[in-house]
Amino acid sequence: MRNDSIATARFRIGVRPATIHGRIAKCPCYIPGSLELLTAMQIRILGCSGGIGPGLRTTSLLVDGAVLIDAGTGVGDLPAGELAAIHTVLLTHSHLDHVCGLAFMADNLFGEIDHPLTVHAIPETLAVLREHVFNWRLWPDFTVLPDAEHPLIVLTPLVAGTRLSIGALTATAFRVSHTVPAVGYILDAGDGVFAFTGDTCATERIWTALNALPRLDHLMIEVAFPNQENALAERSRHFTPIGLRDELVKLRHRPMLHLTHAKPGTEAVIAEQCAVALSGWQYRHLRTGDQIVI
């Protein structure tokens, strides 16, 4: 089911939204009482731009109010209560536009939450965070604060291909191809399957992982540069509209496409070129504040 409006989401008596570590997430879709709004998966786009600018935020997705995928500048728009409801962060890779918000989150949440923030990422990404971010030089080491036994941030290595259960949600990372080691994520809440590639260029890895799925309803995938900047796209390992078109041929599913990560100032021309390159596909260009409800 695809629907951008919460108004038409399904209701079920007595079913609670996802719980994280045994606690009910402070999900905005939760209605206390006997009638509770059930959405299998609600994804809020906090940021989806390839850079900053007025109204632009970098990559960050909030799933069911409690799970964050990437921590770009979009995290900064969350009110304190919603920030505190986040228990789990899944990172795609170490680039600053995907992790910078984690540093500020940690600072804001320090002393404000009674649970650790569990950050899942591949070992290469975690190594960068340890060495270059939470190192007492760029930022305090929140993995040992307030003390090593009760850290604010718990860095947890994940293995691509291994299913991770987070409450009612299952997340599976798959390797992609970028300038640094990177993954995308498949999220399955039972009623629908959503996949997010993160930053990537052409690779068989994505399609091997996605074609193995019994279904794929929504695919959030990047297209960062217009066609005329193909050389730069290849060098920085991102897609152009034509590059994306040529890759999508390998996908056996026909999901709704959610396009993301356009470099600031290129949005209009990328939209024009996608209208040609993605003819026959159902797609939209994501904007900050959009929702994907499955």
Of residues 124 through 183, those in contact with Zn ion by CB under 5 A are none
Looking at the Cβ atoms of 181 and 192, the one nearer to Zn ion is 181
| Element spanning 82, H or E | helix 80-84
| Residue 70 interacts with Zn ion (CB under 5 A): yes or no | no
CB of residue 70 to Zn ion, shortest distance in Å: 8
Token pair listed for 118: 């569990």
| Angle subtended by helix axes 267-277 and 241-248, to nearest 10 | 30
Distance, CA of 84 to chain centre: 18
Q: Judged by CB under 5 A, which stretch of 35-43, 97-105, 139-147, 240-248 contacts Zn ion? A: 97-105
If phi > 0 it is left, if psi is from -120 to 50 it is alpha, else beta; for residue 206 that is: alpha
Of residues 188 through 207, those in contact with Zn ion by CB under 5 A are 199
| Residue 237 interacts with Zn ion (CB under 5 A): yes or no | no
Residue whose pair of structure tokens reads 């680039």 in the numeric block: 95
CB of residue 183 to Zn ion, shortest distance in Å: 12
Give the count of alpha carbons within 13 A of 81, CB side only. Answer: 3
d(CA 50, CA 56): 9
User: What residues contact 127, with CB distance under 8 A and at least 6 apart?
Assistant: none
Please tell me the count of residues contacting Zn ion according to CB under 5 A. Answer: 3
Token pair listed for 166: 């987070």
CB of residue 191 to Zn ion, shortest distance in Å: 29
CB of residue 272 to Zn ion, shortest distance in Å: 22
Backbone angles phi, psi at 239, to 5 degrees: -95, 150
Member of 64, 70, 82, 97 binding Zn ion (CB under 5 A): 97
Looking at the Cβ atoms of 144 and 232, the one nearer to Zn ion is 232
CB of residue 56 to Zn ion, shortest distance in Å: 13
| Residue 95 interacts with Zn ion (CB under 5 A): yes or no | yes
Residues that bind Zn ion (CB under 5 A): 95, 97, 199
